[in-house]
Amino acid sequence: MSVDSPSDPMPRSSLIFTGLIAVIGVAAATLLGARPLDPQEAAGVFPPWWGREAALVAASEAGSILAVGALPFIVIVRSDQGVASARLREAGALFSIDPGRVAPCSL
């Protein structure tokens, strides 16, 4: 039996694709609205597969580590030069967001 039968009004693969596009759209809108407000502080989101230690090492290259987010691959840093987001990207962060949008944990 086929997953997508011709009698279905919308095949399952189309529903999955539509759902994926919706999730990407919501995530993009959220990230764009979460840009760091203070250029000196930002939360870098590093690749999840790096793990906590690799994210901390990379973040330390971007500035002073202030905290780790609720997820171990999110690190909040401060760069006195006012370029925290750019330095996080150079250090390997996928993107950066406003630290106020991150639930911090202790180091």
Residues 66 and 29 in one domain: no
Residues 28 and 48 in one domain: no
Residues 93 and 56 in one domain: yes
Query: How high is the pLDDT of residue 60?
Result: 95
Residues 88 and 45 in one domain: yes
Measured CA to CA, the distance from residue 85 to residue 40 in angstroms comes to 8
Measured CA to CA, the distance from residue 75 to residue 88 in angstroms comes to 9
Residues 95 and 53 in one domain: yes
Number of domains into which the chain is organized: 2
Measured CA to CA, the distance from residue 67 to residue 91 in angstroms comes to 17
Query: How high is the pLDDT of residue 86?
Result: 92
Query: How high is the pLDDT of residue 96?
Result: 87
Whole-model pTM? 0.65
- 59-98 as b/e: b if 16+ CB within 10 A: beebbebbbbbeebbbbbbebeeebbbbbbbebbbeebbb
Query: How high is the pLDDT of residue 57?
Result: 96
Residues 101 and 50 in one domain: yes
> Domain residues for 24?
1-33
Residues 57 and 19 in one domain: no
Query: How high is the pLDDT of residue 98?
Result: 84
The residue with tokens 């925290």 is 84
Digitized pLDDT (tens) for each residue of the chain, 107 residues in all: 445 555 556 577 777 776 666 666 556 555 555 666 677 899 998 988 988 999 999 999 999 999 998 888 889 999 988 899 999 999 999 888 888 776 655 45
Residues 70 and 101 in one domain: yes
